[in-house]
Amino acid sequence: MKTLEDLIGEGVRGRTVLVRSDLNVPLDGTRITDAGRIKASVPTIWALVGAGARVIVTAHLGRPKNGPDASLSLAPVATRLGELLDRPVRLFTLAEGAPELADGEVALLENIRFDPRETAKDDLERGALAADLAALTGAGGAFVSDGFGVVHRKQASVYDIAKLLPAYTGGLVSAEVEVLRRLTEDPARPYAVVLGGSKVSDKLAVIEALLPRVDSLLVGGGMCFTFLAARGHGVGKSLLEADQVDNCRRLLESGKIVLPTDVVVADAFAADANTRTVPVDAIPDGWMGLDIGPDSVAGFAKALSGARTVFWNGPMGVFELAPFAAGTRDVAQAILDVTAAGAFSVVGGGDSAAAVRALELYEDGFSHISTGGGASLEYLEGKALPGLSVLEA
């Protein structure tokens, strides 16, 4: 794959470069609640600006269903990106056409998913949108793929555009691929994986792919209750995927899976619910588990101690609600501790990265925080990611 450094080495002054970034940030109205992905996009854009390129950024926000949706406009993102770049970022629509840019100036195309061709299954429809995007760059244009969070999608601004313009990996994508190769090709051992989140079904493929490669796999979050059910425990009203119990029972035969020993339960899914901490074999009927307990945290920390490689994806509980945040915070701290002792640690994006910031943990204490939860998991499963494969063609 050709890299951003290759492109800059060829010379970009006066050329228009189309950059696919991942700017899919959470919003509260028009307020950005976590700008992590915008900040991660800045180094590649800044490198191009510094080299004199005229930069057009494409990105999506949310999942608009019926064309343009004002609540999913990239206008707040354009403002924040401009603040980070210390220069105005002009927002425009495809119908308006690209604004006239001088060397070193930046424009942002409105939410690419407002155009249904972006996610179309039909190759010709996606190809037509890609042709419209390529036309924005004019003679001498180039494409930089820097949205790692979308490289597992076969979409016009990710995949098809790379067939029409000279294509390069941005700094963010290059760094992510290097980290994931380190996790898959020759990880330092012991190698521990921490998985959380809601559903076993969402993580089943990655668990099956990772189990032969890791030394231990720690399971928390809502998905742990299906594993606990597979061990014969009652789980009250906790999240349970009954159709996955047999799969969990089979996975437990590996002997590598570490489950919680106690959980924080509540009588309602609410911050002001009544709560208790109980052993996993004593969850009351009618109560639901919403976090792992302190004994579980201690057990997980013990399992992590001495690890040389750690991959974490998914919170240990409903960290957004204060009574159920301790498990995620304390397990993350255990990962920070082993990182400080020399381990290589990767936070697998998505809710895990959001939790690091929401709980005000020391971000730089982890070796790497990914911007692409789904893309990271699919890479670790061994799947070919279309947005990367097309760059290798």
The span from the CA of 145 to the CA of 126, in Å, is 17
Of 198, 280, 267, 276, the closest CA to residue 237 belongs to 267
Question: Look-up: residue for tokens 């691929």?
Answer: 177
Coil, helix or strand at residue 373: helix
From 90, 199, 213, 357, the catalytic residue: 199
From 222, 293, 374, 387, the catalytic residue: 374
DSSP label at 363? G
Distance of CA 249 to the CA centre of its chain: 28
The span from the CA of 160 to the CA of 166, in Å, is 12
DSSP-derived pairing of the beta strands 344-347 and 309-313: parallel
Which tokens go with 302? 């013990």
The span from the CA of 174 to the CA of 170, in Å, is 6
Which tokens go with 101? 């840019």
Which tokens go with 389? 């494969």
| Cis omega (within 30 of 0) for bond into 190 | yes
Which residues are known binding-site members? 22-24, 37, 60-63, 113, 153, 203, 289, 320, 349-352
Q: In what order do the strands lie in the sheet with 142-145?
A: 89-92, 106-109, 54-58, 16-20, 142-145, 167-169
From 314, 327, 350, 373, the catalytic residue: 350
Burial of 133 (0-12, 13-18, 19+ CB in 10 A): buried
104 is catalytic: no
- The DSSP string of 293-351 is -HHHHHHHHHHHTT-SEEEEES-SS-TTSGGG-HHHHHHHHHHHHHHHTT-EEEE-SHH
From 15, 20, 37, 126, the catalytic residue: 37
Contact status, residue 171 vs residue 197, Cβ threshold 8 Å: no
Contact status, residue 164 vs residue 134, Cβ threshold 8 Å: yes
Contact status, residue 341 vs residue 190, Cβ threshold 8 Å: no
Of 206, 325, 207, the closest CA to residue 275 belongs to 325
374 is catalytic: yes
222 is catalytic: no
Which residues are known binding-site members for substrate? 22-24, 37, 60-63, 113, 153
Residues designated as active site: 37, 199, 350, 374
